[in-house]
Chain A
Amino acid sequence: MPKVSMTVNGKPVSGEVEGRTLLVQFLRETLGLTGTHVGCDTSQCGACTVHVGGKSVKSCTTFALDCDGAEVATIEGMANADGSLGTIQQAFQDHHGLQCGFCTPGMVMSAAALLKENPKPTEAEVRHYLEGNICRCTGYHNIVKAILAASGQDISAIAAE
């Protein structure tokens, strides 16, 4: 079987895969990094969002072998070095940006990609950016709030809604 090597959350990893092995399968099944979720497996829900080369991608619609040599970041890499929650994760907790939590890994990874490109997004920009991330629980409002709070912006104006 072909071998694939990449860097995941800063650590070099490798494993044997098939041609058809998806990045999400490699992460979850080979590496045991089950924080990345598969919601739809059809490129719609965004629960599987990870970063490859610093860009958000759907790991259910990316082949592991296409990531050979790439830098991959997953939800497991979002916590601080001491294990405490990262800024975006903490904001999700503080603002009730999750209920069942199934969509949350993808939401956090998309939020991280957004804030890297656009450190102070407007509410409309956050909503537009989350088009590829579906949440069945929260109604999105608190997710948007959490992301705006994580960007360091004052959210008191939308907090009352």
Chain B
Amino acid sequence: MYNFDFERPSTVDEAVKALQAEDAQALGGGQTLIPTLKQRLAAPAKLVSLAGIAAMRFVKTEGGKLCVGGGTPHAVVADEAAKSFPALAKLAANIGDPAVRNKGTVGGSLANNDPSACYPSAALACGATIVTNSREITADDFFQGMFETALEEGEIITEVRFPIPQAANYQKFEQPASRFALTGIFVAKYPDGVRVAVTGASGDGVFRWTEAEKALSANFSADAIAGLSVDPDGMIEDLHGSAAYRAHLVKVLTGRAVTAAR
């Protein structure tokens, strides 16, 4: 790892200011960024840790939404959302391992937008609002392809607001070594329709399976998608699974998620 300056502000404003320095980079829980720095795949001049910002760590419900501070670790979401939004709590409870969940944050996961991360699927399936230090971004606009988001340089995710669905479930087909999703499906049912988001499968990162959404909005049962198929074109192909395998998983896991949705 190359050396860098390290700052640990205690407010969002201070962090935003610190991030204006040249080649400054925000540090969430560091569970992705630190390994990346060790591999010298990133070489910021300054790291601005967000871990000292107490105002970015919270889980609360407000007007039918679960609001999570951008700096909230997965383990805290797993505990504190267990009653209000169990599907999201379960997703958080199965990211990585316990030590990773104590450090990694929801804001960090969304900002990184790893194509195999769990959280992006929940944010997209719920039509979450990503709140930053300067604006609000809908999940549909936020995710812009593998590791790409709508975030500007130096912009910080301060909060994520998930509309709480009537029923939801996350199915993760785990790659056992990395514990990332080989494919993961988040299904969320709302009064105005069903949303299905897919992670781990596409080379473009998280996406909505709109055909399934239409079918499931008319009939919320695994049978509704029996006749559909997923195009393997553009799916990730690697030593863990072929494109066709991932396309198949999308359908199977969507069916399981619908059946398990509560």
A contact residues vs B (CB 8 Å cutoff) = 2, 18-20, 22, 41-43, 46, 49, 52, 55-58, 61-63, 65-66, 68, 110, 113-114, 129, 131-133
Contact = CB atoms under 8 A, between A and B. Distances in A.
Nearest to A67: B51
Nearest to A55: B102
B125 to A, nearest CB: 25
Contacts of A19: 3-6, 46-47
A43 B8 contact: no
A131 B1 CA distance: 27
Contact of B2 (A20, A57, A110, A133): A20
A18 B99 contact: no
Interface residues of B, number: 28
A49 B103 CA distance: 12
Contact of A58 (B1, B3, B99): B99
Contacts of A66: 6, 8, 27, 30, 49, 51-52
Interface string B20-39: 00000001001100110110
A20 B1 contact: yes
A57 B179 CA distance: 17
Given A19-B6, A132-B96, A56 B49 contact: no
Interface in B62-107: 75, 96-100, 102-103
Nearest to B50: A66
Closest 5 A/B residue pairs (Cβ):
A132-B97, A19-B6, A55-B102, A131-B97, A65-B6
Interface of B: 1-6, 8, 27, 30-31, 34-35, 37-38, 46-47, 49, 51-52, 75, 96-100, 102-103, 179
A65 B30 CA distance: 13
Contacts of A18: 3
Contacts of A114: 98
Contacts of B1: 20
A65 B8 contact: yes
Given A19-B4, A43-B31, A55-B75, A61 B98 contact: no
Nearest to A68: B8
Given A43-B31, A43-B34, A43-B35, A132 B99 contact: yes
Nearest to B177: A44
A110 to B, nearest CB: 7
Given A58-B99, A61-B31, 4 more contacts: A42-B38, A58-B100, A66-B52, A110-B98
Contacts of B31: 43, 61
Nearest to B34: A61
Contacts of B4: 19-20
Most chain B CB atoms below 10 A, which of A49, A61, A110, A114: A61
B34 A63 contact: yes
Nearest to B30: A61
A42 B35 CA distance: 6
14 contacts: A19-B46, A20-B37, A43-B31, A46-B99, A55-B75, A56-B99, A56-B102, A58-B99, A58-B103, A61-B34, A61-B103, A63-B47, A113-B98, A131-B97
